[in-house]
Amino acid sequence: LEQRPERSLGDFASLVGISEGLARHGKALRGLFSQSAPLREKWAGSFQRAGHLAANDESLESTRRMAIGLLAQGTAESAGGFLFESLAGVESDLLRADCVLAIADINDRGLSERLFGSVDSLTGATRREVLQASVRSAAMAAALVRSLEVGDVQPTEVPEDVRLGLQKLEDERMRDAAERLLAATVSNDRQAVVDRYRSALKMVGDHRQGAKVFKQNCITCHSIAGLGGSTGPDLSRMKTRSDEALLVSILDPSREVSYELKTFIVLTADGRLLTGIITSDTPDVLTIRSADGRDHTVLRDQIEERSATGRSIMPDGFERNIDQQALADLIAFLK
């Protein structure tokens, strides 16, 4: 394939599509580059162009996302610097999330440690993206464990689906370290939590305050009246459920889990760990939606392992974010 960076944007988009197709078949460009220096040199100009497009705030967001998509197929040397330049310069949470996922997929120890070293300077949304991406590669998982050890990341910040992914790490020492660092941050006795918050059912809830609680804690995954995320179910019909049922669903979400909301863990041939709900399951392709609402498509022949956790995609530990009055307000809003 002739590489001419000065080609039209349409041709450039074709190169991005080819690189992503190769990656889905287990032939990511970074692997091909390690086998062929001439090929690496031919692609150098395209990665430079991708870096400039990604960092250019005058480019369309769709163009910048496409450019980041190509950088995600590169190496630490060919793409790392461009990705961190874009991460620092863009204002869009969506573009920053793309940069985080690209860095994670490169699976480089230096890049991953640099990313976790910068989490305090990131927005809350991007910081959550970093944590969500920490099981996408071994290098990111190691960086997360290191950040937990030194206190840059608190155990209570780590989402439940990431915890589940860490339990599947191949490195036994890292897996044990993660389990030790994350132990006892969420009560194993969910019934005790439900009982502790039952007093909320006797409180007068303010639906206006409940709307604020919903926006701060739930809207990323859930929607009401068409507004919000699509990972979890639309909550518009929750008004027909009893207050007691809502209390249990919020504080013990895995007590009753329908198949479509069960968390699955998928290990790919290239070493990625994906956790989420399955939104499409065909003989050739599996699509899994992670807690951040992103869909990840994996070819069947690239799946090494697939297992259901028996748990809801909604994590335990919601009580860390709200008190009894806030729960009463949230129930009033849902009703």
169-182 pLDDT tens trace: 888 888 898 888 88
Q: Note the pLDDT of residue 162.
A: 82
Torsion, Cα of 316, 317, 321, 323 (10° steps): 110
pTM of the model: 0.66
- Average pLDDT for 251-267: 77
Long-range contacts of 178-185 (CB under 8 A, 24+ apart): 178/141, 178/144, 178/145, 178/148, 181/145, 181/148, 181/149, 181/155, 182/148, 182/155, 182/158, 185/155, 185/156, 185/158, 185/317
pLDDT in tens, 293-325: 788 889 988 888 888 777 777 878 888 889 999
DSSP for 2-54 reads: ---TTS-HHHHHHHHHHHHHHHHTT--HHHHHHH-HHHHHHHHHHHHHHHHHH
Tokens of 217: 């804690």
Phi/psi of residue 323, nearest 5 degrees: -100, -175
**pLDDT bracket for residue 166 (50, 70, 90):** confident
Helix (H) or strand (E) holding 311: strand 303-312
